[in-house]
Structure 1
Amino acid sequence: MSETATSLIRRLRGRAVGLAAAGTALVLAVPVPATAVVGQSRAAAEPVSVMTYTAKERREALAYWTTARMKAVGKSVDLGPTGPKAKPYRGVALKTVGRLFFVNANGADTWCTATAVKSANRSAVMTAAHCVRRGSSPGNTNTTMVFAPGYGKGKQPYGAFAVRTAASPRAWVNDSTDDVSALVVDADKKGRKLTDVVGGQAIAFNRAVGGTVSALGYSATRPQRGEELLRCVGKAKKENGMQAIPCDMTGGSSGGPWLADFDTTTGKGVLVSVNGSLDALTPTKMYGEVLGATAKKVYNRAQKG
């Protein structure tokens, strides 16, 4: 990545720290002692770092994130008007995409966006690594995390799923690179696994960058303020080692899927990246990782969990 692109992304991530304290997030906040972290003592060569939340923590997370609290966190921040590139998603109900609610390392309620994907355990969810933990800060992690697929305007049509484990690249943990994570969620209150309830998007690794991509996310821009799914559509281009599309979604959209071959009549596509970072304080581009060998290891670790 060029020095210019790196500085822009760092600047955006620095801005997002402030947004996190206000109630939404592209990244995490200041370091605090970690809770429920495993795998930190593994050899540095291990490419994937995994956090695990205890059964007690998962029960507490579901109890914590009431409908009222989910709606309140969106009201706590206003990141300016929506668009013109981002527009409300219009199409068949998109059951696989939802809001990922959590308490960040600064103790603030916040959210990102995440996507149920096809997996061996029928329980895997893809998002951005910075929605799970702060880069280059191994002890700075999120807690109280639940995934609400199909969320819209205060409604959780498929309920909420507690996050059991979160796998991230060790490159993110140590060096803030490879901004992608794979989560494993518990079954719902009826004992049903996630993709048995909402289905799962296909996911592709080592796919050539290009073609039309739909990026989706619960941006904190108004009037939606996280309560409605937004969508950007554009041609993906490789840029400075990442891929980019025209998009002006901001905080809260982080981790949302980039879907190639997306059909609004079926709600199906192929996940080729996730919303990672923006090009400037007034965004015109969204950047996402090119999903390669490291991302595949992260996903495989999750789908076997």
Structure 2
Amino acid sequence: MSSSVRSTRSARAVLGASVLALTLLGTSACGPDNSSADTAAAAGAPALGLPANLDDLKKWKFEDWEKWAKDYALPAATKGFWTLEKLLQAKPNEPIEPPAPQPAGTQAPAQPSAPGPSTPAAGSKPPAGQPTQPGHPTTPAAATTPAAPKPSNTQQPASQAPAPPKQPAQQPSQAPAQPTQAPAQPSQPAQPPAQPGQPPAQPADNGNDPLPKTVNAQPLQHPYTKLAVHGKLFADEPGAGAAGGGLGRSQCSATVVADPAHPGKSNLVWTAGHCVHQGKGGSFYSNISFIPAFNSNAAMSGGKQADESQYAPFGIWGATQAVTSPQWKAEGGKTGDAATHYDFAVIRVKPADGAKSLEETVGGAVPVWFNAPRDQLSVTEYGYPAAPPFDGMELNRCESGKPGRLSYEPTRPPMLVIGCTMTGGSSGGGWLAVKDGKPALVSNVSVGKHTGDPMYQAGPYLDDVAAGAYDFLSKKG
């Protein structure tokens, strides 16, 4: 079966899927109190009490996460805070940029771990496993001349595939036409298992596959009745908000996920870590709010104005809890590096008093598939790209097929990478794959390259660390 057919079947399964229950396996391990102070200090985050190695972190129990995640409780946004004016002020939260390509004959710079871009010293050497090209060691020659995606605000007949997005008038130029399918990725030799007490064996290729071919994002047909698990996430960056004239307001994408501790009544939402937390040296954003099925009926399409009941058909849900990975909080920044391997977050939203849960309100939630076999995945990405040539008003998808591997640090699980033309605002958008005939979330948008050829996005591989954070927040509700 071709990857195109698999992708199509995956998309159809997503549209009509029911909710799966998710069972997490408990593990035992040394928690934050057993980590070495010297090791934590060397990692640049002594206050977080990180364990000495990744294997210990993967074995954290609920009590360990609770000791560490002391700031998971968030002040909820005031009811009515997100007015239409503020929503329109929110700038697209860009997927993290891969490292800039280096001129021939020069060495790639070391990656910064602090938030915000920095200028590396000339001639500095890349860390072990760092890609030598933008986010990757090798870039295949372009087979075709791609065309940039263009947003479309017109409805599509149900029997027809969505038309390619239209380019806004303000865009002066167009990129060449993209192939619509990601190539099959070459299989990699199995690595010998790590010995107890030893770090995992590093892949011979540093965990990188050839970059995928570009896949055009396609707008979904209105209304988004069967896709209401997808939505937009808004937040205020610390120190900005009203004082910054709205310049600190940002928008991302997110997905309603199942809650194992509250089956059928989930209030959990999955997104990227950089959509809710600044990373190294920073803190959680404020006024984090989720709007499922944003603009489902096209009330805001084409520059139109609308009231809240039209662009937020299921309401605006304020977050009261959030957790991301220790790696993102200790190391996260603005350029693709080791921290992006764990750039994910789970938030809990609060229903109105006496109201139904988020899952009951939107009609479903998707389970999260941890440690998913890479060779069984055919990914469809969903999101609300808001940077040009998109305007953030349309839910789009990329039927990208089998993901490849992308790695900035070979001792960590390689990220998943797919071809996709979505831009800023798609950060945090859910990547779905079919498990037992039904959709499950396997990653979210973290890294993105939106110019040239190929255009691609990468997301974290959700392993036991992600499962631990998810299990913690599920039980805290």
Shift in alpha-carbon separation, 1:280–1:66, aligned structure 2, 3 A: closer
**Is 2:215 the partner of 1:215?**
no
- Unaligned 5+ segments in structure 1 are 1-39
Shift in alpha-carbon separation, 1:237–1:109, aligned structure 2, 3 A: same
**Is 2:257 the partner of 1:117?**
yes
2:76 is paired with a residue of what secondary structure? helix
Whole-Å Cα distance in 2 between the matches of residues 109 and 200 of structure 1?
27
Alignment of 1:91-240 (within 5 A): 93=225, 94-105=227-238, 107=240, 108-119=248-259, 120-121=261-262, 122-137=266-281, 139-152=282-295, 153=300, 155-176=311-332, 177=339, 178-188=342-352, 190-198=354-362, 199-210=364-375, 211-222=377-388, 224-235=390-401, 236-240=403-407
Corresponding residue for residue 275 of structure 1: 445
Whole-Å Cα distance in 1 between the matches of residues 70 and 314 of structure 2?
26
CA RMSD of aligned residues (A): 2.9
Greater share of residues in strand:
1
Whole-Å Cα distance in 2 between the matches of residues 66 and 190 of structure 1?
24
**Is 2:379 the partner of 1:248?**
no
Q: Which has the larger radius of gyration?
A: 2
Corresponding residue for residue 33 of structure 1: none
Whole-Å Cα distance in 1 between the matches of residues 353 and 77 of structure 2?
11
Is the 8 Å Cα contact of residues 81 and 222 (structure 1) preserved in structure 2?
no
1:297 is paired with a residue of what secondary structure? helix
Is the 8 Å Cα contact of residues 73 and 110 (structure 1) preserved in structure 2?
yes
Alignment of 1:17-56 (within 5 A): 43-45=49-51, 49=69, 51-53=71-73
Is the 8 Å Cα contact of residues 219 and 253 (structure 1) preserved in structure 2?
yes
Whole-Å Cα distance in 1 between the matches of residues 69 and 423 of structure 2?
27
Shift in alpha-carbon separation, 1:248–1:175, aligned structure 2, 3 A: same
Whole-Å Cα distance in 2 between the matches of residues 190 and 239 of structure 1?
45
Q: Which consecutive aligned stretches of 4+ in structure 1 deviate over 4 angstroms post-superposition?
A: 280-283
Whole-Å Cα distance in 2 between the matches of residues 64 and 183 of structure 1?
18
Q: Percent identity?
A: 27
85-94 or 111-120, which deviates more: 85-94
Q: CA deviation at 1:190?
A: 4.9
Whole-Å Cα distance in 2 between the matches of residues 42 and 140 of structure 1?
12
- TM-score relative to the length of structure 1: 0.75
Q: CA deviation at 1:203?
A: 1.1
- TM-score relative to the length of structure 2: 0.49
Shift in alpha-carbon separation, 1:97–1:237, aligned structure 2, 3 A: same
Is the 8 Å Cα contact of residues 90 and 234 (structure 2) preserved in structure 1?
no
Q: CA deviation at 1:74?
A: 6.1
219-228 or 42-51, which deviates more: 42-51
Shift in alpha-carbon separation, 1:50–1:230, aligned structure 2, 3 A: farther
Whole-Å Cα distance in 1 between the matches of residues 88 and 48 of structure 2?
39
Whole-Å Cα distance in 2 between the matches of residues 88 and 188 of structure 1?
31
Whole-Å Cα distance in 1 between the matches of residues 469 and 343 of structure 2?
11
Deviations 1:140-171 (A, max 9, x none): 33111111111113611100111001101111
